Amino acid sequence: MTRFPFARGALAASLVAAFAVAGVHYAPGASAAAAAATRPTPAAVIAQAAPAMPGVPAVPSAQPGLAPSARGSVDFSDIVERYGPAVVNVSVTGRAPRSGPGAEPAPDDALREFLRRFGPPGAQQAPRGEAPTVRGLGSGFVVSADGLILTNAHVVEGAEEITVRLTDRREFRAKLVGADPQTDVAVLRIEARNLPTVRLGDPSRVRVGEPVLAIGSPYGFENTVTAGIVSAKSRSLPDDTYVPFLQTDVAVNPGNSGGPLFDARGEVIGINSQIYSRTGGFQGLSFAIPIDVATRVQGQLVATGRVERGRFGVSIQELDQSLARAFGMQTPRGALVTGVEPGSPAAAAGLLTGDVIVALDGRPIDRSAELPARVAEMKPGQRASLEVLRERGSKTLPIVVGTFTPEKVAAAGDAQPPGAPQPAARLGLAVRELRAGEGGPGQPAGLLVEASGGPAAQAGIRPGDRILSVNGTAVSTVAQLRDRVSAAGDEVALLIQRNDARVFVPLRLAS
C-alpha cells in the first residue's frame, strides 16, 4: 500500500500490517510523466494519443448524471464533458534530498531512470555538489472559480515550483496555501478568474457497488477517464488512521494522485490518493480520501494555514470475530483500545487497555477507522462522552478533547538478552519475565517471547515480542499468564508490543 506516485509494495495482510495501523494517531514528490513508463513511447504515438483539448464547454441546462448508453452500459460522457475541464494537471520541480556529498537520487526516481536508459550520456547527473532536480506530475481539481485547487499533499511535498495546467492548455504558477500530511490533502491557489469548478458531494450517501469515475493524469496522459465501482467504505490503511478511505476498483496509476473521484450524480466524493500494488501499477485496489475530510482540512488551511485537530491519546485496532468472542461480545463492533498514553485525555478519563469504544457522544462506532476521523474533527477543549465495554459490562466515561501534535515519541527498544524461557504450551510460546531495567522507563513489564510455535507462530507472534495482557488483564509473571490462559476457554486475545506499537492478537488455543 503506497501513496502515489510510487507503488513500492503490497498491503500486508498479516500481523505486521496490524501493528502499522494500531495507533489512533495518524502518524517525495510526484512521479515523472509519460517518461516514467517502463519502455519509451514513440513520439508519433504520443502525438496521436494526446490531441489538443477543447475549451471549457457551456454549462448544460440540466444537471449531468449517469445515463444508459446505446449499448446498454453506463455512460459517463455528460459528467466528463461538464466537469472534465475543472480537473487540472499539477507539475512540480524540486530538489531530491541528499544523504551526503554526491549522493544519488532515490532508486525509484522514475525520471532519473528514464534519462539513464534513454537520454544522452550524463543527462541524469546533477552538477557536482548540487542536489539533482526532480520533476513530477500529479492531478488536482478546481473547487472555486477564483483559483482554489485541491490535490494531495504528497504531490507537492518538497516542491520548489508548482505549475498548474488547464485543459485549454493555459498554465499558471501555483502558490501552496497549505498542506496536511496527516490526511494527505493540499490546497493550491492560482491567479485566475471564472474557472470551471466541480460540484462536491456527500460521501456518506454513497453505497458500496455504486459506479464511480476518476479523472486524472496517469503517467502524464492528461484528463484520462477511468470508471469502476465503490468496493468498500471506511477502510483503515497503514499510517493513515485519520482517514476512513473509500475503496474502489477504478483504474488509477502514478499521476492520478490528487485527482477527483466522481459519483453517479457527477459530484466529487473523494480525492484519489493511494493504491495497493505489487508491481507499481494498478491492480484493482485504489483508495480515495472522502471529500468531507478534505474540505474540513481545506477550510482550516485557507483560514489559518494550519490544521488543528482533536486527540484522545489512545492506540486502537479493529475487532474481528475471534477478538470479539475473547472479550465477551456477540458480534465485532467498536474500536479496541491497545494502549493509553500516560497523561493523555484518555488516561484522565479512565480509559484502559482492553476497553472497546462503541460510541462517541452517543453516535455508534461500528469500525475502528471511524473513531480517529471523528476525534480529529473535534475541537481541543471540547467535552465529550465515550461508551465503552469493559469486563462484559458497559460504562460511560466523560473526556476532554486534547490537541493533536504530529510529533511521535518513540518508546524504548525491547532488550532481548538470553534467558531461561518458560513454557506456555497451549499458546505455543516460550516466555520469560523481564529483568530489572529491561522494560525501559515508563514501560509496562509484561513477558518477553523467546520462542514461538503452534497457534502463536501462526498468528504472527515472534521472538522479541512482549506480551502485556490476556483478554485485557495485565500479566507480568509466567504464573499470571498460565492462570489467565487456563481460565480463558478456547480463545484468548493477547496484547502484544513490538518496538513501539501494540496490537491485540486473537489465538485459538491448542487442546
Catalytic residues: 154, 184, 257
Query: Which residue from 346, 337, 348, 345 is spatially nearest to 315, judged by alpha carbons?
Result: 337
What span, in angstroms and rounded, lies between the C-alpha atoms of 192 and 311? 38
What span, in angstroms and rounded, lies between the C-alpha atoms of 287 and 249? 9
Which residue pairs, CB below 8 angstroms and at least 24 apart, start in 471-476? 471/326, 471/327, 471/354, 472/327, 472/352, 472/353, 472/354, 472/355, 472/390, 472/391, 473/354, 474/353, 474/444, 474/446, 475/446, 475/447, 476/433, 476/434, 476/444, 476/445, 476/446, 476/447
φ/ψ of 162, rounded to 5, equals: -125, 125
CB 336 within 8 A of CB 327: yes
What span, in angstroms and rounded, lies between the C-alpha atoms of 88 and 151? 10
CB 223 within 8 A of CB 215: yes
Q: Over 16-61, what HEC string results?
A: HHHHHCCECCCCCCCECCHHHCCCCCCHHHHHHHCCCCCCCCCCCC
Residue type, 187: V
Query: Which residue from 162, 503, 212 is spatially nearest to 353, judged by alpha carbons?
Result: 503
Q: 416-455: string of b/e by CB count within 10 Å (b at 16+)?
A: eeeeebbebebbbbbbbbbeeebbeeebbebbbbbebebb
Query: Which residue from 257, 200, 198, 261 is spatially nearest to 229, judged by alpha carbons?
Result: 261
CB 340 within 8 A of CB 23: no
Does a cis peptide bond (omega within 30 degrees of 0) precede residue 290?
Answer: no
State the cell numbers at 99.
Answer: 544523504
CB 268 within 8 A of CB 199: yes
State the cell numbers at 502.
Answer: 501494540
CB 122 within 8 A of CB 128: no
CB 133 within 8 A of CB 94: yes
